[in-house]
Each structure stands twice: as C-alpha cells, then as structure tokens.
Structure 1
Amino acid sequence: MFACLLVSVLLCLQVASAFKPFLDMYPSIIWKPVKQKIDTAILPGDIIEIDIAYVIPAGGIKDIEASYSVRSYNLYKDTMDLVENKTYILSTVEPTTIYKNFTVVVPFTNKIVVNASIYHPLEDNGLNNQMTLKIPVFEDTELVKVEVPPIVKAGEKTTVKVYLKSNAIGFNYRASVATNEILGMTDFDITKPEMVVEVEVTPKVSGNDYVETQEWYVNLMGYDYYDANNEKTVTVTVWASGPKEGVAIPATAIVATTVLVVAVAVVVLVLLRKGR
C-alpha cells in the first residue's frame, strides 16, 4: 500500500515538473559615450549612457527582483565607491525584455564597474543571472596651479611649485618651466592622485635690462590622453644681479625699480597693520 502511494506521488511530481516552463532570465549591459572631451577616450568629467536589458522569456511571472549598481575606483582610498544603484520589482504578462537607461558623469577615477542582476525562485539557470562590466577611464593629468615668487633674482636658483591632479598612477611625467628657453625641468612618477612637484629654475634677463617682466610657461608631459589642461602661464618679475660693466642703468629701469620698491613697502605695511 505504501509503495503504491509513493509511486503515485512521484508520478504527480514528474507530471507537474513536466508542465513547468523552463525559465532562464538574464541581464545584459551595454554603454556608449554621450559627451567627451576627445573622441578617442573616456576621461573624468565625460558623460556616458549605460543601458541595461533584463530578458524575461516567460509571461505571467510576478515579483521578479532586478537590480543594478555603478561603482568607481577611489584613487585616494583604494576602494570601490558607489555611484548609483537601483532595485526594481518586475512582473510580466508575456515574454519580454525590460530596459533601464541612465547617464553617468564619469568621476575622477581610472575605472568604473557596472553590475546588473535578476532573480526569481522559479529560475532554472542561475549561472547567468548576473553580469559585471568594467569601463576603463583613460589617463588624464591636470596642472591645477603654479606657485612662484612674484619677484626673483637673475642667476639665483628659484623653486617653482607645480600642483597636479592625476588618475595616471604609476606613470612617469616631466614638469618643465620655460621662457624662450628651458629654465628647468623635473622628472617624476605619479604616486598619488594629488601631488606637488618642485622644479628648480635659474632665471635670466635678456640684454642689458636691469629688471624684466617675463611670462613663464609651465608644462606637464607624460602618458596623457588629454593635454589641454597640461599648461599654465605665470608672470614673474626678474631682477638682474646688477648692470654690466660700462652699461648705464636706463631711466625706465630706475622708475620701474622705484615703483616695485614702493609697492613692496606698501604690501608689507598693510600686512603689518592686519597683524596687529
């Protein structure tokens, strides 16, 4: 009697499972650029569109859990930071594909990771219920600012401080300072996302000028897909160590010198008064 009952139960289970449709849901991820600084690379600050398709090849299914997340690599903390995530509860009337589209401003990073997943208890093949896609962000080093004394002396070494921000960790760069000729340069490796690099220069004056206002061009060179933010210009006043023997100091130089001395004196007085 027990054996007959067991056979009946097994037959019922087989019949029930035979009538259950095979369910294999899966997500798919694609992306495309929307706004770029250059056509050949994705860089920090660009805008990309991410499209996620949830393929559900059966109708009449309720309470399907679908989700996605977008994360970026934190260059400062060596972690993956959440940029955006969403979870949806979906239902179908017939076999369908549900699309979720959104845009993301590329953060300051060197990679973005997108993950999409879909789940339901009736799922027969769980191996493809999740997809992960890595979006590379290409190398970009920005020259943020330059610090140099406003007045320097010709022939004496001066330090120029170059502040930079970069996602090109591990790459070699060169910082240079020039007028119509190279005044100084420094080779260095990018070891962290924000750095201060010092370039030692020796200012010069042209001709017999006793004092000269110069434009210094500060430049970064290295493995960089976007060089429009690699250069800055600073204005520097260069004092000669003194007139050459037998050369008189021009009246314009005397006037300029007097004006500069007075200006420096005024600045010092203002600072002293503020300090009281």
Structure 2
Amino acid sequence: MTGTEPAAQAIIDTTRPHPARVYDWFLGGKDNYPVDEQLGRRIAEIDGGAPRAALANRAFMRRATRALAAGSGIRQFLDIGTGIPTEPNLHQVAQSVAPDARVVYVDNDPIVLAHAHALLRGTPQGVTEYLQADARDPRSILEQASRVLDFGRPVALSLIALLHFVADEDGAHDLVRTLVDALAPGSCLVLSTMTADFEPANVRRGIAAYAAGGVTLVARSRAEVGVFFEGLELLPPGIESVARWRPEEEPEGAAPVSLYGAVGLKR
C-alpha cells in the first residue's frame, strides 16, 4: 500500500458514536468503543434486522465487486466512505479476480485511517491506496484519486451505505453527478442506501435512535434511489434489496433488508 502515514496527532473522538464504528460493531468487529456499542445495541433492540442488514450490505459489496472485476473486466475501483476494514475488503475481492486491479479507498474518520494503513495491503501487481478526504468534496477526491486511477479508462465507483448520511438538500445528487460525470464510458456506479419501503416503522425508530446519538440518516424510496442512476443503464436485477441483488444462494428467511442496492453502467 502507498499513501501518507497517519498523522501522529489525529484525534479520535470516543465520546460520540461514529457510523463507521457502529457498523463495525454490527459486523462483529472489535474496532469500536462503548459509545458505539451502546448505540448499536439500542438500534438492534428497535430493529432486530439491523445487524443482518449490515452483513447483507457487506455481501452485496463483495458480489458487485466480483461481478465487475470478472464479468465486466474493470480493473480500477474508487470506494468512497470505506469504513473500518472488514475482511474480505473490496481490494481483496477485486485483486483475487484481477491481481493488477488498482483500488483507492476514501474516508474521513481518523480511526479508519489508522486501520487502513495497517490492514489495506494489496497484491504486488496491483495498487491499494487510501485517501483521507470528505465525501462531500468530490472534486478534491477526484483530483487526489487521479494520481492512482486513470479516469480515461473504466472505473467502478462504490458508494456503499454512504448516501443515507447525505440529505438531498445537502447535495447528495450533486455529489453523485460530479463523480459519475468524471467517469469514462464503461464505468459503473455501485450504490447501496437505506430505505423505509419494507419496514417503515422500524426504520423510523432507527433513524430516531441515530439522531439521538448525533447522527443524521435519510431513508429513500426505490424511486428516489433511481434518481441517482439517471443516465445510466441499470444492470440486472436493477434496484433491489441488497440481499436479493444476484444472491449466490437463496436469501435466508422472509425478513426484508432495509437497504437498496444497484449497479449502473455508463455508456
């Protein structure tokens, strides 16, 4: 891995829950703090499907990455809103198919930065890079990522479980459009985001629990998710609950997963 070493004075706020660390707790990770576990337990009590949704979302990322590396031949990946590394990571999936794949991760949490330098190690043939940057500054991300990725060639842009932290009025659509506009034909947008279409009452209570912890969440309908893919060709099966996007085996149980996932191709 290349990149800048973590700043010695990076400050990790352990007094307030952080989405990446709560997500890590849902996935059974150990890189979280009591305040994150408290919020995670509160959400799980409200919505027992939340941990399952986190696992299903992670599995969606792996399936989509593998499909694009193997089926579409994409060799460049830009993952924004990376979160705390949880194996197998995106670069491990991509480079298991194509050892020469180039992967750039982007996040703005100091704890993610610290773990990225320790864990995100790719193949000798490929490149694995980490950028400390804010998702709300897409132009800066593109400028920095261009040192590793060739935007004249196809790139898989992954926005996994990111956009439900960005409201429409805060520029969610402009963020996606700026990023997609910079991509070459043959590139793909991989996106997952929260929805209240399946369990509206549970999701509303979960949103309230996050808000009490100082974290704002936005739930979007299928139609609202579709707006992010305007101008792109949705790959089959289109916009689906992440558990039902090309499952490797039939999803277990009837309980819905309150996250939509989809992949769009730029022609």
TM-score (norm: length of structure 1): 0.19
TM-score (norm: length of structure 2): 0.19
Which one has the largest radius of gyration? 1
- Higher RCO (Cα < 8 Å, 6 or more apart): 2
